[in-house]
Amino acid sequence: MVDITHKITTLREATAIAVVRTSSEETIKAIRENKVPKGNVFEMAKAAGLLGVKKTPELLPDCHPLPIEYTGIEYEINGLEIQISVRVKTIYKTGVEVEAMHGASIVALTMYDMLKPIDKNVEIGCIRLQNKKGGKSSFKVNSEGLNAKIVVCSDTISKGQGEDKAGKAIASKLREQGIESEISIIPDEAEEIRSALKNAKTNMVIFTGGTGVGPRDVTPETIEPLLDLKLKGVEEQMRNYGQQRMPYAMLSRSVAGIMDGKVVLALPGSTKGAAECMDAIFPHVLHVFKVIEGKRHD
């Protein structure tokens, strides 16, 4: 299965439809009047559809098992056709469109099985995804024109005694969003940190390093007094995301805020920690630029 451990959890929804075509008004009448020999078609098919949604990953090898938190099945009769609508919801890292389509197909097949004794010409029509939301396509963010300065805070690396990996990891994550960046390396000195922030001419300034609890970790307390406001939700998201993957993340003092219209972030100095913070908040944090400009939320 595809690795989704880096994804964030969001509300996901999908609706799929299927069509069952009967060949006579007598069949439709039997369904309406609950006179089909095998039982109540709508209720039996609904029960089967619920099972179909839940068992999707058991039958489709690449599907991830996920918590199904809502399934709604509705019917609409149009002439000799029955339109089936299956809506599925979850709060998870991946979507539920396959679950919705599988549920719709099982509902349709159950109807076919129940109706074939009284109608030899029943057909299953198109089964398709009607709509979905909750993934990347629902939270599009425009990164056009944005750039960033990455500041690596490290005594060791600034002395040439180590290699910068965290800064490069951040730059790689930014390129995935279409954002160009430049990297500078400074020691863990408050004055150098302040200078790097005040002199930055980019839309974003991302620090990496100095967010722990060591004696030389001074990045947060240096940056925070310079911020016009803090983005506490962004900070919470980074720590929560990290804590789900590494228990030591609770010791991180990552910072997020805005100064002079610039987004300012202070991420851990470890390569993995920095990369995970980027995964936790990008691209969604870029929505802040739209808000800064005074535009309405979608």
CA dist., res. 274 & res. 209, Å (int): 9
113 among known catalytic residues: yes
**Backbone angle region of 218, left / alpha / beta, with phi > 0 → left and psi within -120 to 50 → alpha:** alpha
**157 and 270 Cβ atoms separated by less than 8 Å:** no
Residue 78: CB atoms within 10 Å: 8
**1 and 62 Cβ atoms separated by less than 8 Å:** yes
Identify the active-site residue in 3, 62, 113, 217: 113
Sequence-ordered list of residues with C-beta below 8 angstroms from that of 169, at least 6 positions apart, any chain: 271, 274, 275, 278
CA dist., res. 225 & res. 162, Å (int): 30
Instruction: Measure Cα distances from 30 to 40, 84, 298 in Å.
Output: 10, 18, 47
Residues noted as catalytic: 113
